Structure 1
């Protein structure tokens, strides 16, 4: 039987949850266990001004809700759910994968004026070559209609070095067809933090980045994903991400197309020869890219 928690309101900024997550480093670690845990949170819908600021920063057209825009909403529910798990050290979890799939192609007006959001989160553990993953499977509902489903994988416990090496893929990914360069401003992490509420210290200051083994503040993974999506000609409905290495702001990125199939493709972001992000995505079917703004 799953451990199910009653629905809870979740309002206000993200940073108090991040602060509480940081304090989990002081907790005594307890095993998460094998039993899934389910949570439900209610959030207010974002405002048109908040969505507009996001669209403007990344250069999205004003008539769509970019699929990456939903992630900070899911992230808030993820953190609130994780913080209810006694003994779980939330700080330091490494984000490996993220999947997002929109079920409705809403206009900004429809989404922002559609009323409160209900986010259901299921936390469980998954065996992986790199160790044990904490998986957060989520659904976002509005007016009893499914808007988006997604999942995020975090490295909870690292596998022994030899086991990790044995389970790792031996094929090295090579750059595909180059499409364009994408510039990133040196202050992009702080700008995205203001947009998303994700003020994780690793994105803000050099000293905190150094503590986590990075030479400088790194760009949020979902900001990198948004840059990739914005550079594509069609709005994205479904996105499967693998975060490979951090993106350092102020250094151009190279977008390559790794493969393509009917209505779907695989792209990658590279920086100074390093593979940073691998994305398998699917565009909205023809005729649904821009819905009517009723």
Structure 2
């Protein structure tokens, strides 16, 4: 695998414009059976504390000198967008569905530390509704791996190649420990602080193009909001896995639940439809 060293974070706005153009019929590359055999690296990344404070506010974290587990994902996101919007990537990034995310925190990361970041795409594989792949982001401090995130994306296709599962009865949601009102501005606020300006989160028209009646909350916002609810109880080193279920249509009222065994979930407070399930280990 080749390594491309960047000298500055890519501008996500320009990348999304390129990605939107690539999603139009007749533009950009379509299809393919291989992921780009390249790793993008950006060294010497520092944290803007004002930006961190804004992120904490949008996601519900307390202001602190230790980075939330989901914050390095924000730092690495421009590299992910650069990789997925590049000419060697087989699918248009606009239209990919973020279906799961795993984060491993090796130790607490202080906001004053300088980080080296890398991103690569791996494991293109069949799924019952199309194909899946993983985008792996890593962060090092002084040569030590301190964080890793794996985002799983689904490319929906007319005929998937994976084993089809029989539909089952939806289990009853766990007892809620709290309810949150998710305001319409969550989509635009999180887009502004994360750089993820996918129109399904920020525009009613953009959401309708992809089959949603109104904008939906970012999956990584919902994961961050759940971890914020567990703040103060998490260990110094852990892995947190989430599966993104049905989208949160904005505005919404959602119910959060957590168990002593570190399972947690988010579901619609009225219909009980699941939005997210996760576990910390």
Query: With structure 1 as the length reference, what TM-score do the two structures score?
Result: 0.82
TM alignment of 1:1-294, pairs within 5 A: 3-25=1-23, 26-33=27-34, 37-42=37-42, 44-63=45-64, 64-84=66-86, 85-108=88-111, 113-158=112-157, 160=159, 166-168=164-166, 170=168, 172-233=170-231, 234-235=233-234, 237-257=238-258, 260-261=260-261, 265-271=262-268, 272-282=271-281
Q: Report the Cα offset of residue 126 of structure 1.
A: 2.1
Call closer, same or farther: CA 1:20–1:59 in 2, change over 3 Å: same
Unaligned runs of at least 5 residues, structure 2: none
Judge conservation of contact 1:182–1:227 (CA < 8 Å) in 2: no
Q: C-alpha offsets along residues 55-82 of structure 1, whole Å, 9 cap, x if unaligned?
A: 1233322223111122222322222122
Unaligned runs of at least 5 residues, structure 1: 283-294
**Greater than 6 Å deviation, 4+ residue runs:** none
8 Å CA contact 2:200, 2:210 repeated in 1: yes
- CA gap of 1:116–1:176, structure 2 versus 1, over 3 A, is closer
Contact 2:56 2:63 in 1 (8 A): yes
Contact 1:59 1:230 in 2 (8 A): yes
**Cα offset for 1:171?**
5.3
- Quick check: 179-188 or 16-25, which moved more? 16-25
The verdict on how the C-alpha distance between 1:87 and 1:180 changes in structure 2, with shifts beyond 3 A counting, is closer
State the Cα deviation string for residues 9-29 of structure 1 (Å, max 9, x = none): 342542222222222222241
Q: Aligned-pair distance for 1:102? A: 1.0
Give the number of equivalent residue pairs.
270
Determine if contact 1:32/1:88 at 8 Å carries over to the other structure. no
Distance of 1:168 and 1:5 partners within structure 2: 42
Question: Distance in 2 between the 1:229 and 1:87 partners?
Answer: 33
RMSD over aligned Cα atoms: 2.4
Against the structure 1 CA distance between its residues 27 and 65, is the aligned structure 2 distance closer, same or farther, given a 3 Å change threshold?
Answer: same
Deviation at 1:168, TM superposition (A): 4.9
- Following superposition, the deviation at residue 268 of structure 1 comes to 1.0
